[in-house]
Amino acid sequence: MRFFYWNKNFETGLPEIDRQHRRLVDLINELASAFTDGSKLPQVQMLMNQLLSYAAEHFSDEELLTETSSLSEKEKSLHKKSHRGFVRKTQEIFQRTDLLQAEVAEQILEFLTTWLISHILEADMKIARALMPKRPVQAREPKQDQSLVEVSPMVRVLIGALSETERRFRLISDHAPVLIWLADSAGSRGFFNRAWTDFVGIDTETAQNSDYMDFVHPDDRKAYQAVVAGLLENPEPVQTEYRLRKYDGKYNWFLEKILPRIEPDGLFMGLIASATDISAIKQAESLLTQSNQELEQEVARRTAQLEQLMLTDPLTGIGNRRRLTNWLEEETARAQRYRRPLTAIFFDLDHFKHVNDTYGHAVGDSVLIQVAKSLKANLRQCDLLGRFGGEEFVVLLIETGLDDAFAVAERMRAAVSRLQFADMAEQVTISGGLAELRPGETWEKLLQRSDQALYRAKKSGRNCCQTGCATPALVQK
């Protein structure tokens, strides 16, 4: 499909020059087709190179004719400078890597057609008139319906050509895979390409008469309006992300690049934007974020499990020696700070080596498990129980003085003595030693004194509980 149409008004009357001008028009049309047909960058660059080469050949022939004309030296020099300017600008375009972007393609085609038309109708027509014999000018009668504003044929043709350029830009943008819109210097949007109107599900006329913000997600409108308002005050390229409502009511994410449209003289003409659907990327980011969160939660869960395993006795399921140490440190510090009572009980199974040697370690493990369950069943929720090692257990009675703790210890001892085991007929008993925390005492000292009380219980015949020396009550006065 042709982008630029030849007009009889472009003919100079010099057959060879007119033929070359037609060839330049054909090359511009081939370049426009490459843009609209989705050609790759190398093909577009190849056509640009052909255009540049043919233009150089045309300029050479035209300058030879110029030298034989009656134009002044100044006019001849200006004509050559115009050629050099075109070559320089085209070479700059040839080096660009973003030729396939719709807004860039529009600028290129507008430059090529505007330059060629203006050059033909002004400079080249001067050469033709200078080379041809002068003919008498016949006066024309003004028409009755002649416009009040006289427009020269050259301007009429140029305006028509530029209108054709805009129409072709619309054709290019309608084939672009991105959503494109144009706005004037006040921010009013007067053009939406086909991809935009097809996406939101309305026609072009409706789009031009609608408030485009109605299609932006309500949560994104304020930020999006701020971006556009900032651009109108300070025109510079920006990128923004927002959600646009599709014809089916769903919202897709778009990455939109907005560029200011500025004339060579610096005049701000408005905005042009192209938006790319990034919903798939956003979905992937969301899935990745969700996966990371799930992974972090799983890592936290596994870490908690590992910490639990590290602090739990694998046989009995109660706290191990490490956890007991932590409890002792924490509860001792708390009791000392608030001057509250705390009692430790050190339990040890009586003659447990005999159980292992006689019935085996499997039965011994079963005894340890049942004893731990019995001890725990006789404690409050706030009290702490752990396996210190082997057949030794430690109990921390929170907010409990020595007298009350002794009653608890005796209850626990009696409960263990009543346990029945299918694999052994002998009775299992425990001995206990109690110590109440003293003012300023460390947990190590507290545990040592309860261990000493346990030793006295063993010496007293086992299956009994003994307390440490009498101590001042650790209570708030």
Q: Are strands 179-184 and 268-277 parallel, antiparallel or unpaired?
A: antiparallel
- Tokens 């529009």 identify what position? 106
C-alpha–C-alpha distance, residues 114 and 82, integer Å: 13
Closest CA to 261 of 182, 164, 326: 182
Cα torsion 276, 280, 286, 290 to 10°: value is -170
Question: Helix 15-36 crosses helix 102-119 at what angle (to 10 degrees)?
Answer: 170
- The low-confidence residues of the chain, meaning pLDDT below 70, are 1-5, 7-8, 38, 132-172, 174, 469-477
Question: In the prediction, which pLDDT does 165 show?
Answer: 57
Question: In the prediction, which pLDDT does 29 show?
Answer: 81
Q: How many CA atoms lie within 13 A of 368 on its CB side?
A: 25
Contact of 435 with 322, CB cutoff 8 Å? no
Contact of 272 with 256, CB cutoff 8 Å? no
pLDDT in tens, 393-427: 999 999 999 999 999 999 999 999 999 998 888 89
Q: How many CA atoms lie within 13 A of 100 on its CB side?
A: 15
Domains of the chain: 1-131+154-172 (1.20.120.50), 177-277 (3.30.450.20), 321-467 (3.30.70.270)
Contact of 3 with 61, CB cutoff 8 Å? no
Question: In the prediction, which pLDDT does 100 show?
Answer: 79
CA distances (Å), 292 to each of 253, 304, 305, in order? 22, 18, 19
Question: In the prediction, which pLDDT does 26 show?
Answer: 86
pLDDT in tens, 30-74: 888 787 776 787 888 888 888 888 888 888 888 888 888 888 888
Question: In the prediction, which pLDDT does 262 show?
Answer: 83
Question: In the prediction, which pLDDT does 418 show?
Answer: 95
- Tokens 């009290």 identify what position? 383
Contact of 411 with 301, CB cutoff 8 Å? no
